[in-house]
Structure 1
Amino acid sequence: MANKRAKPEEIVTKLRQVEVLVGQGMPRADAIRQIGVTEQTYYRWRKKYGGMGTEQLKELKRLQKENERLRRAVSDLTLDKLILTEAAKGKLLSPARRRACIDRVRQTLGVSERRACRTLGQHRSTQRRLPRGRADEERLVADMIELTRQYGRYGYRRIAAVLREAGWQVNDKRVERLWRREGLKVPMKQPKKGRLWLTDGSCIRLRPEHRDHVWSYDFVHCRTDDGKAFRTLNILDEHSRECLAIRVKRRLNSVEVIDALSDLFILRGVPALIRSDNGPEFIAKDVRKWIDAVGAKTAFIEPGSPWENGYCESFNGRMRDELLNGELFYSLREAQIIIEEWRKHYNTKRPHSALGYRPPAPETVIQMDQRPIMH
């Protein structure tokens, strides 16, 4: 049988025994044989433990244990650092992200589930729990995707408003989570808007106070499939955001502007102010004279300051983004029909963020009382 490895206390005792025997006159080789070890072992012990007392031996053992503990701590910290480095960048706010991150860390570094969960702050029961969506989630996602196909330029907030209008009891956060999970379009970044301020801090922009207070109108240019250009005259009620009319023709001049405004004045009455840019069709003497004659006032924006006509400029951008950029018009008549259908949809169905995600002029159903009149 192999000899058991001697403990440090036994080694120190045997070294002391050899020193005592040598002090009594015994040759060192005989004293070494008496403790039952070879000379090589004796001198190796002596080199390591020579001259060491019991207290010193205890202190050595304590330092060895402390050194081992520190070594393990450094090893643990190094492993934790590797785990955190391997984890996804940024904050792992949701259990699902931490769950996916822990699986990747375990696969890459080969650490245990317990260690990875402790380092990344995930409870093991949460890690093992398989997420289950709601029972209606598949139908909700299907409706979201169908609405995205139908209205390709809508963001998740506007899609959520359309879903609620259709009867779904969902909030924006749930729609946003499913929106990102399905990899749907992220709304484009809004550009910064300039402002025109006076020295006293007040803005000189005229703001509408009620319906039919301020109308604004502007032109939008587009082309049919054969390359020929056409223009649209967009007339907007700034307070309600309702698009009052869109006139589509190859050429639109001051006479066409007066004709379009005449139709609207007959149907809706005369607004207090009409805002426009400084285009030749709008500042023409005939247009200004006619507007003054019917009792309205003109409000031209400053040259080079399109933000003063922000309501109409915003509408033009939505029209180009949601309609003109995605449609191919083969004839002017086709453009007139499609643009008019979109105008009706914009007024009656499309949710408007500035109106609490309600349409500018929603359709109403008036039920007439069919009961006979009693005399």
Structure 2
Amino acid sequence: MKDKVEIAKKYITQGYNAVFVLKTVKISRSTYYYNLSAEGKEKAKSKGGKPRGYSLNKENKKICDELIKEFIIESIDGDAINYGYRKITYHLRKYYNLIINPKKVYRLCKELNVLKEQRVIKPKVKRTIAANRIVTGSNQLWEMDIKYGYIQGQDKFFYLLNLIDIFDRSIIDYHMGYHCEAKDAAALLRKCLMRRNLFEDGAKKPVIRTDNGPQFVSYKFSECCEKVKVEHERIPVKTPNKNAHVESFHRILEDECLKINEFQTYADAYESVNEFMIRYNNRRMHSSLGFMSPNEFYTLHFGENLTGIEIRV
């Protein structure tokens, strides 16, 4: 019997299927694992330490580590497919009645090379509170925020992420889609810098002001701001007046585009929003801009600091 156990052990450790090997050498699974457990116990005794190589189940029966490893593999192939070692511990306790601690499960999982990759904990994004500012020219302070639209025909909402220059009131660019994530906000910021020829390292960059939405508090957006050397500040919670210019634009967008149209498809919504953006930037007059359109005002006063016009935010 000992010879058969040794033969089985040889082939199993080489990677052959344990069930197939045990059937071939004609020994039962319990006999094989009992012999392994006994062997482990003898080795532990010879060292003068505590017997190792097994755990107890709730019936006080010894279950050797090799069998527990099989349980782990069975679990991962089944319900525990995406579990870490802690959840696997509770899985073994619940479904295999084992009395086992997480440290041992961690060791066995490490031997099997089935440990999940550890989640990298990213540092918290540093929050800069929006400061009181006096804006005297374009490209000094930009505001960014999200507006939601509704497609009646598809019963779906869409996102509009808009970036406005608070001095000339231009919507420099916008993102529209069924989703709006940090990567979309980062992409929009880059596009706006390129549109205003501010992407180069030597250019004086604007401050970007946002609320505390998940897109803006994310590590990805913070990383983008650092790379393009733009200062990002966030308004305090429940103070939309600190983002007043983009909020005011959203009211105009609601009254003159979203509210008066019942969109049947996303294509309809996109076409209407695009037409509104072109009209807003190029033809819609603002009394605060001397009854000029945003692009007309920006072109007229490009690169100037107008001491006669001060916007306090």
TM-score w.r.t. structure 2 length? 0.49
Query: Whose strand fraction is larger, Structure 1's or Structure 2's?
Result: 2
Q: Rg: which structure is higher? A: 1
TM-score w.r.t. structure 1 length? 0.41
Query: Whose helix fraction is larger, Structure 1's or Structure 2's?
Result: 1
Structure with larger RCO (C-alpha < 8 A, sep 6+): 2
